[in-house]
Amino acid sequence: MQWSSSAFVLAVVFCSTHAFADPVQKSEDIVKFFAGAADLGKSRGICVGSEEECKSKSKASDAPGGKTGLDMMINFGLDSAELDTTARAELGEFAKALKDNRLSKFNFVVEGYTDATGTVHYNEGLSQRRAQSVAAFLTASGIETARINPIGMGEKNPRSPNPYDPVNRRVEMRIKTQ
């Protein structure tokens, strides 16, 4: 009986942390995305035409459905900063991408987040431990420590409107702009 309840708990934890996760991103896709984002912001340009023509061109480029970011999140179990097998596979691809010459000049911010379970103070610490867990994996994979900046964000910027949704327990990576 003890074994079956442990298996059930493991299945619930696994399903709750990765039920909404995307498939593993391949390192080449990661490199292409970040190398293409090298301008670190919206492109600026001159629009030739009437005001209405220029506004319509701007709206077309901002249209939903156009991918604005690389959706590579590392999810965690409740009250955990431990990386599971899926997270390690995803981070392995990310580390491989960071070793590519096309990304060798970029530094990255690793932002840890929590859901609303727990106090604000506790969640700030947990989110920092999550970010540090990812940073430690990346440095153990050969990425220079100076290129990775782990930051705990606590409950800020939830991915789901439900503050207790497991998808909010995550780490996200982005290019450091300053």
Check residue 65 and give left, alpha or beta (phi > 0: left; psi -120 to 50: alpha). left
> Tokens 């995305």 sit at which residue?
33
Query: pLDDT tens-digit profile of 134-145?
Result: 999 999 999 999
- Show Cβ contacts of residue 82 under 8 Å, excluding neighbours closer than 6 positions: 76, 133
Banded pLDDT at 56 (limits 50, 70, 90): low
- pLDDT band per the 50, 70, 90 thresholds, residue 10: very low
Domains and CATH numbers, the chain: 68-176 (3.30.1330.60)
Among candidate residues 153, 171, 152, 40, the one with its CA nearest the CA of residue 106: 40
Q: Is residue 27 over pLDDT 90?
A: no
Q: Which residue has the higher pLDDT, 146 or 30?
A: 146
pLDDT, position 144: 97
Helix (H) or strand (E) holding 172: strand 170-175
Q: How many C-beta neighbours within 10 Å does residue 163 have?
A: 12
Residue whose tokens read 């503050």? 163
Model confidence at 92: pLDDT above 80: yes
The 10s digit of each residue's pLDDT in 107-143 is 999 999 999 999 999 999 999 999 999 999 999 999 9
Q: What is the mean pLDDT of the chain?
A: 76
